[in-house]
């Protein structure tokens, strides 16, 4: 019953615009984040159809249920995997099941369709099944050992992917990703939440696009790094693994509850180099001696979350003005964060990322930042990556459902110029800074879209000590990531 109560609560708040859907899911503290997120997304998608069914059967009057709760119950009864509750709710739903099914059947006959999805309006974004991406936690194990373990577990290993078409996998098939060496790819319905490797922190459930920022920043072992907007922590855990758990990882987040979740995640992953702070990154003093050795920074600030695969990209015409205003406010906040990040005196590299598809939050913010910070340049990233930033900022990367089989994402890498080069450096392009208020957005969408896969579970004891790992030459690694 707790699942449906929480889903109804989140659905109601989302419909009243009291929070971004994924933020509401994170803040719910529900044990199974994936299950809750899927139920809310699917119920929201079929909302108008469910409402018509409920009103036609007068279900609210006869059961005394409220509409949000009725929607999630009717969705699971008619379109989902069946009711997962007992007691009075289940009894009420089963009592009215025949009438509810009859209304749904009549709707299909009237529209001459056979599938539930065909009842959706033409402009409704159809569900997209992305591959299941799993990042191997190299602090505890190796990719080869995980592959061997899964093969013994009955899965079929297909080797390295060489093209996007290879990512269309059948059940129990998996392969290694073509771009990220520590990433494994599985069929969409593969579930690892109860698997030993997940519970023990040997693997992290993380979308491929979300792995790009830490991979491209590539801080060396022993370095001092800032993760400016860190919770719920997948990117921080990735940074720590790249740093070999050596050095200092300063992680900031305003949300104390999400920071607690992050602490549990890092503990499970075996990370000890972190220093978490429940603090506004914009109020962190770059001249504080504590951060005098910070040379690398990952900035993944609040964003619209428009790249999430389960959410619609377009708003209704009535909402367009509100959307434009919110994007302007977000872009202004993002630019402030970027400028603040680049002001740390010893900073060498900063990765900026969002899970947004909007240029206002991506290329426009980056262009304005370059104009205001002539001492930094953009690094050209992964020349083999199939989707680039919009002209003229093709050094940046974009990710999308269609071209990269990931959530929508954007990544830019800023690098500090030498003092000699800075004197002659000209702005990369003439552009106006993003317009909008200078205050923090009241209802930010966190750009950890792909991290909803991570549900916090108690850390399990490891069965064996992780084997040693082969050393890699960081210089050679960087050459594969960047174009000169």
CA distance 210 to 409: 8
Distances (CA, A) of 129 to 79, 133, 169, 256, 392: 17, 12, 11, 32, 32
What pLDDT score was predicted for residue 312? Answer: 53
Cβ 252 vs Cβ 277: under 8 Å: yes
For CATH 3.30.70.1170, list the domain ranges present in the chain: 132-205
Distances (CA, A) of 470 to 73, 177, 197, 215: 51, 19, 21, 17
**Alpha helices (H) along 218-319:** 234-242, 256-268
Annotated binding-site residue? 230: yes
CATH topology of domain 132-205: Alpha-Beta Plaits (3.30.70)
Residue 310 catalytic? no
Annotated binding-site residue? 118: no
What pLDDT score was predicted for residue 348? Answer: 97
What pLDDT score was predicted for residue 434? Answer: 55
What pLDDT score was predicted for residue 460? Answer: 35
Annotated binding-site residue? 319: no
Q: What is the pLDDT of residues 62-87, one digit of tens each?
A: 888 999 999 999 999 999 877 777 67
Annotated binding-site residue? 280: yes
Selecting among 41, 273, 303, 355, the annotated active-site residue is 355
Which phi and psi angles does 136 have, rounded to 5°?
-80, 130
Among 48, 52, 102, 94, which residue's Cα sits nearest to residue 73? 94
**447 φ/ψ sector (left φ>0, alpha ψ -120 to 50, else beta):** alpha
* Total residues belonging to the chain: 484
Q: What is the pLDDT of residues 391-409, one digit of tens each?
A: 999 999 999 998 999 999 9
For CATH 3.40.50.150, list the domain ranges present in the chain: 210-314+321-416
pTM metric for this prediction: 0.73
Annotated binding-site residue? 122: no
pLDDT in tens, the chain (484 residues): 788 899 999 988 888 777 667 667 867 778 777 788 888 888 988 989 999 999 999 999 888 899 999 999 999 999 987 777 767 888 888 899 999 999 999 999 999 999 888 888 766 555 568 999 999 999 999 999 999 999 999 999 999 998 888 888 999 999 999 999 999 999 988 888 889 999 999 999 999 999 999 999 999 999 999 999 998 899 999 999 999 999 999 999 988 888 888 999 999 999 999 999 999 999 999 999 999 999 999 999 988 888 887 655 544 444 677 778 889 999 999 999 999 999 999 999 999 999 999 999 999 999 999 999 999 999 999 999 999 999 999 999 999 998 999 999 999 999 999 743 443 443 344 334 454 444 455 444 444 444 444 433 333 333 333 444 444 444 444 544 554 4
Annotated binding-site residue? 233: yes
Bridge-based pairing state of the strands 294-299 and 349-354: parallel
Q: CATH number of 210-314+321-416: 3.40.190.10, 3.40.50.150, 3.40.50.300, 3.40.718.10?
A: 3.40.50.150
CA distance 305 to 311: 9
Assign 93 to helix, strand or coil. helix
Annotated binding-site residue? 392: no
Cβ 402 vs Cβ 393: under 8 Å: no
What pLDDT score was predicted for residue 109? Answer: 94
């Amino acid at each position: 019953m707790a699942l449906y109560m929480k889903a109804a609560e989140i659905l109601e708040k989302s419909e009243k615009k009291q929070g971004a859907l994924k933020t509401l899911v994170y803040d719910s503290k529900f044990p199974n984040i994936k299950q809750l997120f899927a139920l809310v997304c699917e119920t929201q998608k079929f909302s108008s159809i469910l409402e018509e069914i409920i009103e036609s059967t007068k279900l609210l009057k006869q059961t005394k249920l409220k509409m949000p709760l009725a929607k999630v119950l009717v969705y699971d009864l008619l379109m989902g995997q069946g009711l997962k509750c007992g007691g009075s709710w289940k009894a009420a739903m089963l009592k009215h099941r025949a009438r509810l099914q009859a209304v749904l059947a009549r709707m299909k006959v009237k529209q001459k369709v056979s599938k539930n999805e065909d009842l959706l309006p033409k402009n409704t974004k159809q569900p997209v099944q992305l591959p299941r991406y799993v990042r191997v936690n190299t602090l505890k194990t190796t990719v080869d050992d995980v592959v061997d373990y899964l093969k013994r577990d009955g899965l079929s290993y297909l080797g390295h992917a060489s093209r996007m078409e290879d990512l269309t996998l059948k059940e129990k098939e998996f392969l290694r990703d073509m771009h990220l060496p520590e990433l494994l790819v599985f069929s969409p319905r593969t579930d690892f939440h109860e698997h030993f490797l997940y519970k023990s922190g040997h693997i992290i459930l993380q979308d491929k696009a979300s792995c790009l920022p830490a991979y491209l920043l590539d801080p060396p072992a022993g370095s001092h790094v800032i993760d400016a907007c860190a919770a719920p922590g997948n990117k921080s855990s990735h940074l720590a693994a790249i740093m070999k758990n050596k050095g200092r990882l300063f992680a900031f987040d305003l949300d104390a509850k999400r920071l607690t979740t992050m602490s549990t995640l890092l503990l499970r992953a075996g990370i000890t180099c972190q220093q978490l702070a429940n603090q506004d990154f914009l109020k962190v003093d770059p001249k504080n001696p504590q951060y005098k050795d910070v040379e690398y920074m990952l900035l993944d600030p609040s964003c619209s979350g428009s790249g999430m695969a389960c959410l619609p990209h377009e708003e209704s015409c009535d909402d367009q003005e509100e959307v434009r205003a919110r994007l302007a406010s977000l872009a202004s906040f993002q630019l402030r964060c970027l400028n603040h990040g680049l002001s740390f005196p010893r900073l060498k590299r900063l990765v900026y990322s969002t899970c947004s598809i909007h240029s206002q939050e991506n290329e426009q913010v980056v262009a304005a930042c370059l104009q205001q910070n002539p001492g930094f340049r953009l690094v050209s990233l992964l020349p083999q990556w199939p989707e680039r930033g919009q002209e003229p900022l093709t050094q940046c990367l974009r990710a999308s459902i269609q071209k990269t089989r990931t959530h929508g994402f954007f990544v830019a890498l800023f690098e500090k110029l030498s003092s000699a080069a800075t004197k002659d450096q000209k702005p990369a392009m003439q552009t106006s800074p993003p317009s909008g208020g200078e205050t923090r957005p009241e209802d930010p969408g966190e750009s950890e879209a792909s991290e909803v896969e991570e549900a916090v579970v108690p850390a399990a004891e490891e069965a064996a000590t992780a084997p040693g790992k082969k050393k890699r030459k960081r210089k050679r690694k960087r050459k594969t990531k960047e174009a000169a």
